[in-house]
Copies of this chain bind each other. A is one copy, B any other.
């Protein structure tokens, strides 16, 4: 089995793609499903999200640009805020700066797409190994087209779990992620030491960074489930 870590989204994912935007989109996605959201619909743009609500008025809209809630949306991209919101049974449409784009990119080719974070790292690793037939690719969303230490560190955590579970041929991206995991301090230090973690702290969102730094507190695996009933312009993720 191959293990590949893309420090930024690439293309041609033949098998399993684990998409990471640990600060904060994929962490928030797991938190939403933990709170009982009935499903997530990821759109690339705010316009697409509003388009979904136009035909499905019952959905909640969650999303950020530049770290802040999009005007007119019900929720931002904060896992802490989500933990206090009434989302049980609701479909949530999400759009974020980096994470949703990365999920869309992976979904163009991958057979299995899963949203991964530190809070579901162990569950995601076990799931990936169970469904993979040739390759597990960990896809770091990055921040505005640049490599993010936060995502690479989280990739290293998942890579480390995978290496404990099976035998892999690893690429240089995986070697780099593993070294970051081993030399980058504990998850809180690593996320707070990343450029995007520092930006969130400055925006008063340090509690989100601390939330995202929790290791394997959830067993939920947001899994791409296409279907005729998914609105155009959206990717549907259900709790797996």
Contacts and interface: CB of A to CB of B under 8 A. Distances in A.
Interface of A: 7-8, 10, 143, 145-150, 152, 171-173, 175-176, 179-180, 182-184, 193-196
Contacts of A184: 179
A147 B10 CA distance: 11
A75 to B, nearest CB: 27
Contact of A172 (B10, B179, B183, B195): B195
Given A171-B195, A172-B194, A195-B171, A7 B147 contact: yes
A7 B184 CA distance: 17
A239 to B, nearest CB: 31
Contacts of A143: 172
Q: List the 10 closest pairs (A to B, CB-CB), nearest first.
A: A183-B183, A149-B172, A179-B183, A172-B195, A149-B175, A7-B147, A147-B173, A179-B180, A148-B172, A172-B194
Given A7-B147, A182-B183, A183-B182, A176 B152 contact: yes
Contacts of A175: 149, 193-194
A173 to B, nearest CB: 6
A38 to B, nearest CB: 35
Contacts of A176: 147, 149, 152, 176, 180
Most buried by B among A145, A173, A182, A193: A173
8 contacts: A10-B146, A146-B173, A147-B172, A147-B176, A149-B172, A150-B172, A152-B172, A179-B180
Nearest to A148: B172
Contacts of A172: 143, 146-150, 152, 194-196
Contacts of A152: 172, 176
Contacts of A145: 10
Nearest to A152: B176
Contacts of A146: 10, 171-173
